[in-house]
Structure formats: C-alpha cells, structure tokens
Amino acid sequence: MRFLFDKNTWQEIFGSIGKNRTRTIITVIGVLWGIFIYIALAGASKGLDNGFERNFETVAKNSLWAWSQRTSMPYAGYKIGRSLRLRVGDAQVLKNRIPEIEYIAPVNTKGVFGGEGAQTVRNLTSNNYPVYGYVPDIAKMATQKIYDNGRFINEEDMEGTRKVCVIGERVQQELFEEDEEPVGRFIRIDGVYFQVVGVHKFTQTTPFGTDGDIFIPFATFRNLYNTGDNAQFFTIAAYDDADVVQVEKDVKRILKGIHRVHPDDERAFGSFNLGEIFGRIMGFARGITFLSLIVGLATILAGVIGIGNILLISVKERTKELGIRRALGATPGEVRSLILLESVFLTMLAGIIGIILGAGVLSIINRMTADNTDFPYTNPTVPIPLVIGALLVMVILGTLIGLIPAQRAVSIKPIDALREE
C-alpha cells in the first residue's frame, strides 16, 4: 500500500506517460469514447423511457377501448352486416367474467366519431363541441387534470342526473372572457342549460380526445339524447400484472357470446389496446438501453486493449531501465505493481473524463428538450450505480489487460536488459 503513495512511483508513471504523449492521448481517447458512448446512449434511452412515462402518466397503462361494429359473418339465423349495439349491462358481465379487469366504464359521445358536435351557446357566442357522457370511474383510468376551483363529475351528479359539465380549455377560451371565471356559470348544450363545474387541462388520455371536449354525467347524457341502455364504447383498465392482450381477446369473445356473433367474426367488435402499444414502446426503450450497454462495453474493451498494447510497447522501450531497476534490488512484485498501476491510472483517467463529457452532453440535451412536450423525451439520466458499475468494469478490465505487459516486465532478466542497447 505504501507503494501507492510513493512519490517516486508516480514520477516514473508520469514520466513514462509523457515520453509519448500523442500515443497516450489517442489511447485514452479510445477508452473515454467507450464510456462516453455508454453514458450518452443509456441516458438517451432513459430520456425516451421518461418521456413515454410522462406522456402516459394520465392514463392507465394497461387500458383498452372496445366498441361494436357490424357483423361480417351470418350466425344463428342472423344475416351478415347486422349492426351491433353495446349495452350498459355488458360492462358488468365483462367485469364479473374477467377477473383481470380492474375498472370498466361505458361511454357515450356526440360529435366524436362523425357528425356535428353539440351546439353550445353562451350569451351571443356559440359553437359545436364534442360531448362525452362519462361515469365517475373514468377518472380512475384516465386522470383528469382539473384547474383550481373546479372538479370532475362525481357520484352525486350521476345519481341526480345533474345538468353539470366539465369543459375543455378551448371551450373556455371561445365562450368566456379572458379574465372570467367559468366555474359556476351556465352554458346551453343542445338547448339545455348546464352549470360548469370544472375546466379540464387537455391531456391525450384517449386516442380521440381534444381540448374542445365537454364532459357531462353518463346518466344525464342518456336523458338528453335518449340513448337508453346503449353505450358507444367501453373504457377498460386491467390490473398491472394482467396480460392486456389476453384481456382484449376475452372481452371480444364474451361480447360475441352476449350478442350472438359468430366466434370467428373479427369485424363485429373493434378495439384499441393501449397496454399492448405501451408494452412495445417500453420494450423498444429497454432494447436501446441493452444496445447502449453492449456498444459501450465493446468500445471500452477495445480502448482498454489499446492501453495494454501501449504498455507492451512502453515495456519494450524501457527494457534497459527495468533491467537496471531489477539489478538495483527491485522485486518482481514492485515492477509488476508499477506497470499495473500505470494501466489502472490511464483507465481511471479516461473513464472519469468520459463520464464527465457524457454527463455534460446529457445536461445540454435536457436543457434543449425541457420545454418540449410534443416529443416523448425528458430528463435523460443514468443511475449513479450504473455509472459506478461501468467505471469498476473499466478498472477491472484495465487491471486484467495490464497483467500482460506487467508479466512481460517481470520476465526481463537484468543481465539481458543491460546487454541490450
């Protein structure tokens, strides 16, 4: 251990490094490039991961939507092309028969899938906006960000079929004055007065949402548009550990049984599986992380091998010097330690510089993308344990590679070394 703190030891190491600075710098760059690539790629993949997490934070990641269409096959006396309608009661059947479903909510809409939205009037201003009939449970699957002083639809609204609504940001901007508080005010939706109880900040919680959406209680929507027991589609959230692809298949299979549809009819019911898409996206991000690890390790290994080659050349050039050292009483262990320490020092130096450069690049990228919410990328970072682990791998590789020139130095016989000139 005293050897590490010996001034003469470090003078010899720096002297050896300084004899061919260009060669040493090129080799160090090769090693630091490896860990730089690892830090940059791993941070970039983490940024993608964080970006997708941010974009999906307002919606259950194991969620899907299912709706009815037309049959494409005759079955049980029914002709092809039969128009199907989901029923509110179907939701409870699905919940009872598929234990993997955590929440399920029927939804009705106007002006979302074609046709005009609801004519909405306030004072002398009017426009058409999409209207959703929601149950309160929808907020458990797709978090609704409501501005201060407002709220979302609750159970009391449903039970009392209250004429209340939650409006989108664009509705507020177009129907209300800039400094006017909309909560508590009234607007007229298709001729019926509704009290505004909240303004929702637009987040893409469904594949078809906009900032001009208006939400009203499902029961109120049913009375307003006389939809009876019909539901336009179901929003479904499975438990986190559930196979959402299998849940989607089970939902369609059970709905086919309820509505007497041929088991092989793939067009009778449509669906959009967000859980499957999210799984693929996260799989892609994990793949990028794994790729960064492989590329980084390969580049680090190539650089460390370069250090080993430089030390071999250095040992060859220092044959006489090492022979004199041995003749003056230096033990094989001291000579071996000197070469190993030089290898580890160069590796550590390159690793630390590479980490600093990688962190700097990630910091610049983070500042450039901090305010960008359109692209799924935010906070590109690499966990400290992974950075320390990469540095330890470099040190271990540097030590192992350094054993080769170190052993070569130990094998030099003083008489042979002094004979060479």
Task: Give the DSSP per-residue string, 139-208.
Answer: HHHB--EEPTT-----HHHHHTT--EEEEEHHHHHHHS-TT---TT-EEEETTEEEEEEEEEEP---STT
Are 237 and 278 in contact, with CB atoms under 8 Å apart? Answer: no
Quote the CA–CA distance of 112 and 88 in Å, as a whole number: 19
Single-letter code of the amino acid located at 117: G
* Residue pLDDT, tens place only, 348-383: 888 888 888 888 888 888 887 766 666 666 777 777
* Amino acid found at 52: F
Res 17 pLDDT > 90:
no
Tell me, what's the pLDDT at 2?
Answer: 57
Tokens of 248: 């989607």
Terminal CA-CA length for the chain: 34
Maximum pairwise Cα distance, the chain: 108
DSSP string, 76-89: TTBPTT-B--EEHH
pLDDT score, position 140: 82
> Whole-prediction pTM value?
0.68
d(CA 330, CA 325): 6
**Per-residue b/e over 121-144, b at no fewer than 16 CB within 10 Å?**
bbeeeeeebbbbbbbbbbbebbeb
State which amino acid sits at residue 297.
L
pLDDT at 395: 80
What is the tens place of the pLDDT at every residue in 55-108?
A: 666 666 788 999 999 999 999 888 999 999 999 999 999 999 999 999 999 999
How many CB atoms lie under 10 A from the CB of residue 338?
21
Q: Output the CA–CA distances (angstroms, integers) from residue 379 to 362, 369, 370, 373, 376, in the order listed.
A: 8, 8, 8, 12, 11
Residue 398 pLDDT > 60 = yes
Q: What are the pLDDT digits (tens) for 122-138?
A: 988 999 999 999 999 88
Q: Tell me the sheet residues that pair with 231.
A: 86
Nearest partner of 194 among 171, 210, 177, judged by Cα: 171
Rounded Cα distance between 209 and 113, Å, is 11
Is the predicted pLDDT of residue 262 greater than 60, yes or no? Answer: yes
Tell me which residue of 195, 418, 399 sits closest to 327, measured CA to CA: 418
pLDDT at 196 over 80: yes
Q: Which residue has the higher pLDDT, 45 or 247?
A: 247
